């Protein structure tokens, strides 16, 4: 019999092994080794650990590959000896996962190591906090810095603006932990306009739902690159699926405002309106709790917007109030306000304008309930101070109704408006007990009140007298105003100011009015760097004998880049060409403190010292310049002159021979040589 024909029983007999038991119980079970609990735990541990190791390795790989770049709130720009931080231009990429257009913050550097004499302030908020459309020197926070520095001369005041466009209170909440790492002494907040359409807002494409606790948890996960990869993959898949099914995509040339909007008709006190108010209230409480628990006082500003000269964007028909009564159309209420204003009833007109703003279906301007929440918070927290920005704007507006006199469009202030914002923030800070022991004595010439929301203001006459120097120190040139003009005009030619997609951009065939306008146009529409444009324009002004205009451009650069020696040199050159050595000297001194190893700086500063009679320092500086550029005839001529004035005629004559060898036609060289020879004889 072949082996293949044997069934299992016969094989069992032949092998003398028991056949398969009928009861299903294996008689060999007792022969298997018993698996220990330790080995079982190890098995399950390895099984569970495999995905964890995978994600750990993925996270390490993504960090090593710098996926999405540096997303920290602050970064090292590599200035000087790597001694500064500044707001990271890329950090907002955390929040804009649907929209490719990512705004960037202001450029406010601060020392990595905080010294005992430093008073450090962080300013938080949206585009108005960031100084749009001016940016840079147009921000209210730099006015605050100027005023505080004057009143706190023994302190090194730092005001760092981390505001960016199109962000909601979620972003502010996400910034808190990183701000606290840098030991703030005070926090300024001007925010609330973007609760509907800012990143993660209830009406935004970047929306994650209306539960603040859930969204704040999501924000904490963004510190992991793996999470960001998964998020982007999910969003990308969603976009691809939408394109397959013919969903309408946002115009790639659309403004950030249009790209980010999801809901274009939000009714007053409707579900999304109430959700936005809950979101703002909850996030603001979380923000204030975090700062107050660390002993950091907060100054919280009320919001201003254009009531009188901004027509509501969208009517919401069939909207009802909480009692299900029909709500009027925003446009009709706005017209009522206009009629009342014409009839001379400004108070009633202001009430109707405010109501029309709240009825507007496109919630670009904060509703009145946002300011109510702000006032409530300042009453609830002892170390949270109310800053009456809205009230100050009202006080300085015709008929006490905010309009185009202080606003460029719907909610961004003009230069005077930002000056007012900075002034009232600084004034409120200086009036508080928190800063009293820091400040130098001064008379209090403004009306005050401890009640949030009361009419505290800066007197109109006081604006002209005390704020004029601060307005000048903003150094906003014609170029800066033209940059603002082009940004606002670009904004207003698109959504929501123009709802038609068939409008042709004004850029087509635009003819600049001069060099400032031309460079401003290129800055806005051709990605020309702001600082590069100002240097170029300053050179144009110098060559065309307009020194004060050139000086203004350079001073604007100094204000924006106080760590850079070049603008100080440019500005000093203007004054040197005017033979204004007294004005050039402090500029060169500052440049020398930043960059002592520069041949031009040491040469010109040395020449000024010689001219002032400080011969020893002048000679030392000129010798420093000589070590850096030994064949500069002007430096050698000045050094010879310094030695001559110091009655070291022989050394002066030796240096003159060097000048003649380099440039025998150097102006005045032969006369000076003859004079030295006579002195020696």
Residue 14 has pLDDT above 80, yes or no: no
Residue 195 has pLDDT above 50, yes or no: yes
**pTM of this structure:** 0.85
Q: Pairing mode, if any, of strands 74-75 and 84-87? A: antiparallel
pLDDT of residue 653: 95
High-pLDDT (> 70) share of the chain, %: 81
High-pLDDT (> 90) share of the chain, %: 64
Q: Pairing mode, if any, of strands 74-75 and 110-111? A: unpaired
pLDDT tens by residue, 94-137: 877 666 667 888 889 999 999 999 999 999 999 999 999 998 99
Tell me the torsion sign for CA atoms 221, 227, 233, 234.
negative
pLDDT of residue 429: 95
pLDDT of residue 392: 94
Mean pLDDT of 373-392: 96
Q: What is the mean pLDDT of the chain?
A: 85
Closest of 538, 591, 424, 553 to residue 476, by C-alpha: 553
- Residue 301, strand partner residues: 387
pLDDT tens by residue, 385-398: 999 999 999 999 99
Residue 122: Cβ-neighbour burial (10 angstroms; 0-12, 13-18, 19+): buried
- Residue 451, strand partner residues: none
Q: Helices (H) and strands (E) in the chain — how many of each? A: 27, 8
Token pair recorded at residue 8: 């299992």
Give 153's DSSP letter.
T
What Cα–Cα distance (Å) separates residue 165 from each residue in 140, 282, 631?
Answer: 15, 21, 52
Look at 270-274, 552-556, 650-654 and tell me which has the smallest mean pLDDT. 270-274
Assign 260 a pLDDT band (cuts: 50, 70, 90). low
Residue 662 has pLDDT above 90, yes or no: yes
Mean pLDDT of 542-563: 97
Q: Pairing mode, if any, of strands 156-161 and 298-301? A: unpaired
d(CA 649, CA 647): 5
d(CA 63, CA 65): 5
Whether 554 contacts 574, CB under 8 Å:
yes
Look at 4-8, 457-461, 649-653 and tell me which has the smallest mean pLDDT. 4-8
Residue 248 has pLDDT above 70, yes or no: no
Q: Alpha helix (H) ranges present in 414-529?
A: 415-431, 433-436, 460-466, 468-472, 478-492, 515-525
């Amino acid at each position: 019999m072949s082996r293949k024909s044997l069934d299992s029983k016969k094989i069992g007999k032949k092998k003398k092994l028991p056949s398969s038991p009928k009861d299903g119980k294996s008689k060999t079970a007792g022969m298997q080794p018993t698996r220990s609990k330790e080995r079982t735990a190890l098995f399950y541990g390895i099984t569970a650990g495999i995905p964890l190791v995978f994600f750990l390795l993925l996270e390490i790989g993504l960090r090593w590959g710098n996926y999405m770049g540096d997303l920290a709130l602050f970064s090292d720009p590599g200035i000087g000896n790597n001694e500064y931080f500044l707001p990271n231009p890329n950090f907002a990429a955390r929040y804009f996962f649907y929209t490719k257009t990512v705004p960037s913050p202001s450029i406010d550097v601060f020392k990595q190591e905080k010294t005992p004499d430093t008073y450090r302030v962080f300013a938080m908020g949206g585009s108005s906090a960031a100084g749009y459309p001016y940016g840079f020197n147009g921000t209210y926070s730099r006015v605050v810095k100027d005023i505080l520095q004057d009143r706190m001369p023994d302190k090194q005041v730092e005001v760092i603006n981390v505001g960016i466009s199109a962000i909601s209170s979620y972003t502010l909440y996400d910034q808190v932990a990183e701000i606290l790492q840098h030991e703030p002494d005070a926090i300024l907040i001007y925010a609330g306009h973007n609760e509907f359409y800012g990143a993660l807002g209830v009406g935004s494409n970047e929306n994650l739902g209306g539960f603040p606790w859930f969204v704040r948890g999501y924000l904490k996960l963004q510190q992991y690159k793996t999470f960001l990869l998964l998020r982007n993959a999910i969003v990308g898949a969603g976009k691809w699926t939408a394109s397959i099914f013919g969903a309408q995509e946002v115009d790639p040339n659309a403004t950030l405002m249009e790209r980010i909007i999801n809901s274009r008709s939000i009714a007053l006190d409707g579900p999304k309106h109430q959700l936005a108010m809950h979101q703002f209230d909850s996030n603001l409480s979380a923000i204030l709790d975090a700062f107050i628990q660390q002993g950091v006082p907060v100054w919280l500003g009320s919001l201003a917007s254009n009531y009188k000269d901004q027509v509501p964007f969208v009517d919401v028909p069939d909207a009802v109030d909480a009692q299900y009564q029909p709500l009027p159309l925003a446009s009709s209420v706005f017209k009522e306000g206009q009629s009342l204003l014409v009839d001379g009833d400004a108070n009633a007109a202001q009430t109707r304008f405010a109501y029309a703003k709240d009825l507007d279906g496109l919630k670009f301007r904060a509703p009145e309930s946002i300011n109510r929440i702000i006032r409530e918070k300042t009453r609830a927290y002892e170390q949270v101070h109310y800053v009456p920005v809205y009230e100050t704007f009202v006080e300085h507006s015709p008929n006490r109704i905010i309009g185009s006199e202080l606003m460029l469009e719907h909610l961004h202030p003009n230069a005077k408006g930002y000056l007012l914002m900075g002034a009232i923030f600084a004034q409120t800070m200086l009036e508080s007990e928190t800063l009293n022991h820091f400040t130098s004595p001064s008379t209090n010439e403004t009306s005050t009140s401890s009640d949030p929301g009361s009419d505290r203001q800066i007197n109109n006459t006081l604006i002209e007298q005390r704020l004029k120097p601060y307005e000048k120190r903003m150094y906003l040139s014609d170029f800066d105003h033209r940059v603002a003009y082009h940004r606002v005009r670009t904004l207003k030619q698109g959504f929501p100011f123009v709802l038609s997609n068939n409008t042709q951009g004004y850029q087509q065939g635009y003819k600049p009015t001069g060099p400032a306008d031309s460079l401003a146009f290129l800055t806005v529409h051709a990605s020309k760097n702001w600082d590069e444009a100002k240097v170029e324009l300053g050179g144009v002004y110098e060559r065309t004998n307009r020194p004060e205009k050139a000086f203004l451009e350079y001073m604007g650069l100094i204000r924006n880049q106080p760590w850079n020696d070049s603008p100080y040199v440019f500005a000093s050159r203007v004054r040197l060409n005017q033979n204004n050595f007294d004005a050039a000297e402090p500029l060169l001194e500052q440049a020398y403190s930043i960059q002592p190893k520069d041949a031009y700086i040491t040469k010109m500063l040395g020449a000024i010292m010689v001219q002032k009679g400080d011969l020893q320092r002048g000679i030392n500086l000129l010798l420093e310049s000589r070590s850096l550029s030994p064949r500069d005839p002007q430096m050698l001529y000045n050094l010879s002159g310094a030695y001559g004035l110091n009655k070291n005629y022989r050394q002066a004559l030796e240096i003159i021979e060097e000048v003649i060898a380099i440039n025998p036609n150097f102006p005045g060289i032969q006369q000076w040589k003859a004079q030295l020879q006579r002195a020696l004889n």
